[in-house]
Amino acid sequence: MSLSPDDLDADGSEAPLEPSPVHEGSERQEALFQEIADELAERDAALSAAEEPESAEEAPSAAEWARQTREAIDRLGEQVNQRLAGLQAQFDREVRAEATRERIVDRLHAELQEYKQDLLLKVQRPIFIDLIQLHDDIGKMARAVVSSGDNDGEAEADKRGVGFRETLESIQVAIEDVLYRQGVEPYRNKGDAFDPRRQRALTTVPTDRDELAKTIAERLRPGFQAGDKIIRSELVSVYTLAR
């Protein structure tokens, strides 16, 4: 094969041949195929390693892991139970505290109401006493009118006396109504025994009988009370032993 001048280098040596495009493409394709084959081989090796059964050395590690997991679950259960017990105890304390607060509030409310009633009664007591005294005076006037009518033999005077007595008695009832609207009611103590807490002896009646001593001889005027507070004790006459 003869060489042309173009195939020689400047120094007269033979120039190297340039690779053809077809030859270069084939090498790249082979390199790509080799790379894909290597990658597939690596994946197959990884899958094979994953599918292999655990070795005898790894089995105790799994059992240990399971034991530790159970212990952790047990500890968690104990902590949850402790927290629940603490919450229950706190709830019980709150319930007791709330009950105590309610009792305190109820007691304070009752004390406040009692204080208000006592204060109001203290202010109104002089007025009640005056009304009760007027009630007693009108009662005495009514009894005096009846007595004078009985002593006078004239029928007309007796008729006028009865009418005046009824008027006085109606005034007494009106005074009792006024007191009742303010929570004050008349009372007469039950039983014949004298009770110094609720009764006051205006007069005494001597007696020789021991069984009558310190008993009621006569009920003179009713007492008045506001609830359990005595405004004016019942006025009575009491038997005493004669000396």
- Tokens encoding 18: 């340039």
For the CA atoms of the chain, what is the radius of gyration? 60
- Tokens encoding 49: 């390693």
pLDDT band at 161 (very low <50, low <70, confident <90, very high): confident
CA-based end-to-end distance of the chain: 184
Per-residue confidence (pLDDT) for residue 27, from 0 to 100: 64
> Residue 226: CB partners within 8 Å, gap ≥ 6?
121, 128, 182, 183, 184, 185
CA distance 216 to 214: 7
Does residue 129 register a pLDDT over 80? yes
What domains sit in the chain, N to C, each tagged with a CATH number?
186-243 (2.30.22.10)
pLDDT digits (tens, 9 = 90+) for 85-119: 888 998 999 999 999 999 999 999 988 888 888 88
Per-residue confidence (pLDDT) for residue 79, from 0 to 100: 85
CA distance 92 to 95: 5
CA distance 131 to 121: 14
Instruction: Flag the least confident range among 56-65, 179-188, 190-199.
Output: 56-65
- Asked if residue 145 lies in contact with residue 165, where contact means CB atoms within 8 angstroms, the answer is yes
CA dihedral 95, 98, 104, 105 (to 10 degrees): -140
Predicted structure pTM score: 0.52
- Specify the amino acid at residue 47: L
Q: Which residue has the tokens 């070795």?
A: 55
Burial class of residue 121 (count of CB atoms within 10 Å of its CB; 0-12, 13-18, 19+): middle
Query: Which among 140, 142, 138, 144 is positioned nearest to 178, based on CA atoms?
Result: 138
CA distance 239 to 225: 25
Burial class of residue 222 (count of CB atoms within 10 Å of its CB; 0-12, 13-18, 19+): buried
Burial class of residue 184 (count of CB atoms within 10 Å of its CB; 0-12, 13-18, 19+): buried
Q: Average of pLDDT values for 215-222?
A: 92
